[in-house]
Amino acid sequence: MDKNIKMKAQDISFFYGKHQALKNVSIDIYANQVTALIGPSGCGKSTFIRLFNRMNELVMHTALNGAVYLDDLDINGPAVDPVSIRRRVGMVFQKPNPFPKSIFDNISYGLKVNGIKDRDFIEARVVQSLKRAALWEEVEGRLHDSALKLSGGQQQRLCIARCLAVESEVILFDEPCASLDPISTAKIEELILELKKDYTIIIVTHNMQQAARVADYTGFFLLGELIEFGKTQEIFTAPKDKRTEAYITGRFG
């Protein structure tokens, strides 16, 4: 595989029961770039992003055709443990979902389940992750308070910090700002731009301006199909497909 390609989806079709949610989608995800997936509600973009860390397996009565690669590894291969994939491909969800535990325990959780016991190491990693997620200054000195006392925006940054702590290689953002106010949204976007130095990022978003601001590449989904994929600038200034143009100019969606 091309060195610049970190993940790759090949000819993906996905079914919920008899309903086909994705139709022959192929996409290359470039390393250390932000790839945005846009499209109207129900177009399959959230279903699609969850294929990259095998989260759709948790849903009953689904079927998948096609392959997803992480570097050269077929992540759905028979010998591949989904747990090992999720350690490499982290995820931030639509609604902030901190554990009902302390701030510290939220971040250290991923380390602990990955078998790390060294306390000093864990402590250093927690602080480092909070700093990288731009949350440290707001929570310093109260790491042992419940994470549920934080505001929505802070909780979402906590979830990002939690993800950073396990040092995954790819981070999937599934509409991370859907429930946040504009200021919190701006902070998260800033963070995403900062993180792409070290991570490969895929972000699903409803918000086209957000895609335009953060993404290097953008894919437009409609009714389970990837209509157009390319450099963000090209998609937004010179879309090749009429449907893409109609969507980004706000004629539907």
Partner 1 sequence: MKRKYIQNLGFSGLFLCMLFTLFALGSIIFFIAVRGSQVISWEFLTQVPRSGMTQGGIAPAIVGTFYITLGAIIFALPLGLACAIYLCEYSPKGFIVNIIRMSINNLAGVPSVVFGLFGLAVFVKLLGLGVSILAGSLTLGILALPLIISSAQEALMAVPQSIREASLSLGATKWETIKRIVLPAALPGILTGIILSIGRVAGETAPILFTCAAFYMRGFPRSVFSEVMALPYHIYALMTEGVHPEQQRAIAYGCSLVLLFIVLFITAIAIFIRQRQRQQYG
Under the rule (CB under 8 A), what is the footprint of partner 1?
53, 55, 58, 60, 83-84, 86-87, 90-91, 93, 95, 97-102, 109-110, 112-114, 146, 148, 159, 162-163, 166
Nearest CB to partner 1, comparing residues 78 and 100: 100
Task: Tell me the C-alpha distance between 64 and 214, whole Å.
Answer: 30
Write out the H or E segment, with its range, that includes residue 7.
strand 5-16
Q: In 3-state terms, what secondary structure has residue 239?
A: coil
Nearest approach, Cβ of residue 83 and partner 1 (Å): 5
Nearest CB to partner 1, comparing residues 98 and 239: 98
Nearest CB to partner 1, comparing residues 112 and 142: 112
Task: Tell me the C-alpha distance between 245 and 9, whole Å.
Answer: 24
From residue 164, give the alpha-carbon distance in Å to each of 114, 131, 169: 13, 10, 9
Nearest approach, Cβ of residue 229 and partner 1 (Å): 25
Nearest CB to partner 1, comparing residues 122 and 246: 122
Nearest CB to partner 1, comparing residues 129 and 185: 129
From residue 11, give the alpha-carbon distance in Å to each of 19, 25, 62, 65, 226: 17, 5, 16, 7, 11
Nearest approach, Cβ of residue 111 and partner 1 (Å): 9
Nearest CB to partner 1, comparing residues 51 and 208: 51
Q: Alpha helices, DSSP H only, in the chain? A: 45-49, 82-88, 103-113, 119-132, 136-139, 152-165, 182-195, 208-214, 232-237, 242-248
Phi and psi torsions of 90, nearest 5°: -85, 170
Nearest CB to partner 1, comparing residues 54 and 196: 54
Nearest approach, Cβ of residue 94 and partner 1 (Å): 9
From residue 161, give the alpha-carbon distance in Å to each of 21, 109, 155, 220: 31, 11, 10, 28
Nearest approach, Cβ of residue 103 and partner 1 (Å): 11
Nearest approach, Cβ of residue 158 and partner 1 (Å): 11
Amino acid found at 17: G
Task: Tell me the C-alpha distance between 253 and 250, whole Å.
Answer: 7
- Please give the span between the terminal C-alpha atoms of the chain, in angstroms, as a whole number: 35
Nearest approach, Cβ of residue 156 and partner 1 (Å): 12
